[in-house]
């Protein structure tokens, strides 16, 4: 590797010359806070001052700036269930400050003047339902009482604050459709659906993938890994589910749980079915595979069992002794559904129409 810079006070060595092009070539985003874009108010974000960002052969230092729907590259308002991407743009005028555009496009903004040479994607967010919480992140009613009367419906439509990501504060995988749970962990906002490429995606109004499409615990792990994600363990799943209302037998007000339901439904449609981490449908619709296993404590006939033809055998105390946890609840489980509901019965090779999956990813 050749030396790019050297010290030469006479500047006769080309390597001693510091040019904008050189700086742009070696600089990444430098910011005092990784989350240099933050939710600030309903429908608004704030870009913090002082981040240094290269765009093509130009370098910008950000000033504190408010972003809103006015920065959209086309529409005049945000659309429910959509992912948006924030771009820093160089308009080619040396005297001009940075230009910010927000777009549904994940490559570069709309407009004939923009392409991947004069724009840089620096962050993004998801727009949808958001549960109102107190300063400690607890579910509250409109009067501010924690789990006070009517708290279940205290939900608004807005930028999901914990979905806001930057090039420095984001999951290792594609951040679209994800929200930050804290402690370096991101989770899918929506139940996983088929991405059409043998993997999984987190998108609004899709059909959740289940055993109807051949899903079991093993296949869920394989599909998650193809998109850089994984299944949550129980503690992680519980964090994601906190504050999602318990299901109801007689209605679908708090989730797709009514005992009269006969099948899964589209993802993210029920306003109340959201946790304090803004995770949708985690109680109801379909159960979710969790990355934890247990053994049937009553089984005692240890042997090799050929329960996964073509994939080897399992030495266990009965034909179905190995169980994988599932959480949340299914479409007709009523009051059994909830943010701490877990079933320890299903075995990991079970292909069931009522079990789906939700993925998580560690931070970059």
Three state DSSP letters for 274-326: ECCCCCECCCCCCEEEEEEEEECCCCCCCEEECCCCCCCCEEECCCCCEEEEE
Total tally of structural domains belonging to the chain: 2
Say whether both 196 and 82 belong to one domain. no
pTM: 0.93
Say whether both 235 and 215 belong to one domain. yes
Label residue 3 by pLDDT band (50, 70, 90): very low
- Residue 210 contacts by C-beta under 8 Å, 6 or more apart in sequence? 264, 286, 352, 353, 354, 355, 356
Q: What letter does residue 133 receive in the DSSP assignment?
A: B
Say whether both 245 and 136 belong to one domain. no
Q: Indicate which CATH number applies to the domain containing 163.
A: 2.80.20.10
Say whether both 151 and 196 belong to one domain. no
Query: Which one has a higher pLDDT value, 282 or 2?
Result: 282
Say whether both 244 and 363 belong to one domain. yes
Quick check: 122 and 85 in contact, CB under 8 A? Answer: no
Say whether both 161 and 209 belong to one domain. no
Say whether both 258 and 294 belong to one domain. yes
261-280 confidence digits (pLDDT tens): 999 999 999 999 999 999 99
Q: What is the pLDDT of residue 25?
A: 58
Query: Which single residue is written with the structure tokens 């500047």?
Result: 11
In a domain, 192, yes or no: yes
Say whether both 261 and 309 belong to one domain. yes
In a domain, 20, yes or no: no
Residue count of the chain, please give it.
364
Say whether both 120 and 236 belong to one domain. no
Indicate the residue among 170, 189, 209 that finishes a domain: 170
| Closest C-alpha among 9, 88, 12, 30 to residue 56 | 88
Question: Token digits for 305?
Answer: 């069992």
Indicate the residue among 131, 151, 170 that finishes a domain: 170
Q: How many CB atoms lie within 10 A of CB 18?
A: 10
**Owning domain of residue 92:** 31-170
Label residue 324 by pLDDT band (50, 70, 90): very high
Label residue 1 by pLDDT band (50, 70, 90): very low
Say whether both 158 and 265 belong to one domain. no
Query: Which single residue is written with the structure tokens 């160089």?
Result: 90
Instruction: Decide if pLDDT at 22 tops 70.
Output: no
Say whether both 48 and 120 belong to one domain. yes
- Select, from the ranges 7-16, 83-92, 352-361, the one with the highest average predicted confidence (pLDDT): 352-361
Indicate the residue among 149, 170, 191 that finishes a domain: 170
39-71 confidence digits (pLDDT tens): 999 999 999 999 999 888 788 889 999 999 999
Label residue 7 by pLDDT band (50, 70, 90): low
Instruction: Decide if pLDDT at 23 tops 90.
Output: no
Label residue 91 by pLDDT band (50, 70, 90): confident
Q: Indicate which CATH number applies to the domain containing 183.
A: 3.90.1580.10
Say whether both 154 and 206 belong to one domain. no
Quick check: 131 and 275 in contact, CB under 8 A? Answer: yes
In a domain, 23, yes or no: no
């Amino acid at each position: 590797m050749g030396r790019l810079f050297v010290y030469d006070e006479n500047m006769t060595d080309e390597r001693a010359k510091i040019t904008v092009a050189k700086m742009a070539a070696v600089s990444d985003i430098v910011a005092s806070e990784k989350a240099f874009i933050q939710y600030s108010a309903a429908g608004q974000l704030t870009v913090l001052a002082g981040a240094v960002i290269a765009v093509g052969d130009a370098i910008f230092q950000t000033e504190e700036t408010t972003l809103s729907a006015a920065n959209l590259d086309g529409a005049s308002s945000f659309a429910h269930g959509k992912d948006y991407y924030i771009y820093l743009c160089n308009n080619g005028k040396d005297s001009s400050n940075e230009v910010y555009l927000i777009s549904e496009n994940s490559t570069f903004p709309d407009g004939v003047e923009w392409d991947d040479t004069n724009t840089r994607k620096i962050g993004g967010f998801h727009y949808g339902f958001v549960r109102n919480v107190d300063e400690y992140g607890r579910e509250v009613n409109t009067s501010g009482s924690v789990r006070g009367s009517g708290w279940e419906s205290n939900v608004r439509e807005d930028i999901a604050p914990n979905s806001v990501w930057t090039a420095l504060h984001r999951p290792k995988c594609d951040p679209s459709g994800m929200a930050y749970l804290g402690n370096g962990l991101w989770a899918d906002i929506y139940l996983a659906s088929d991405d059409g490429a043998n993997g999984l995606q987190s998108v609004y109004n899709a059909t959740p993938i289940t055993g109807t499409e051949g899903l079991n615990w093993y296949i869920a792990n394989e599909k998650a890994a193809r998109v850089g994600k994984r299944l949550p363990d129980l503690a992680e799943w519980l964090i994601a589910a906190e504050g999602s209302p318990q299901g109801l037998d007689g209605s679908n007000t708090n989730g797709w749980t009514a005992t009269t339901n006969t099948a899964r439904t589209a993802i993210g449609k029920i306003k109340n079915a959201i946790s304090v981490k803004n995770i949708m449908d985690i109680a109801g619709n379909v159960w979710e595979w969790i990355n934890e296993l247990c053994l049937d404590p009553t089984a005692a006939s240890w042997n090799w069992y050929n329960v996964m033809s073509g994939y080897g055998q399992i030495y266990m105390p009965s034909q179905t002794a190995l169980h994988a946890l599932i959480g949340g609840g299914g479409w007709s489980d009523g009051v059994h559904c909830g943010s701490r509901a877990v079933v320890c019965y299903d075995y990991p090779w079970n292909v069931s129409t009522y079990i789906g999956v939700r993925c998580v990813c560690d931070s970059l």
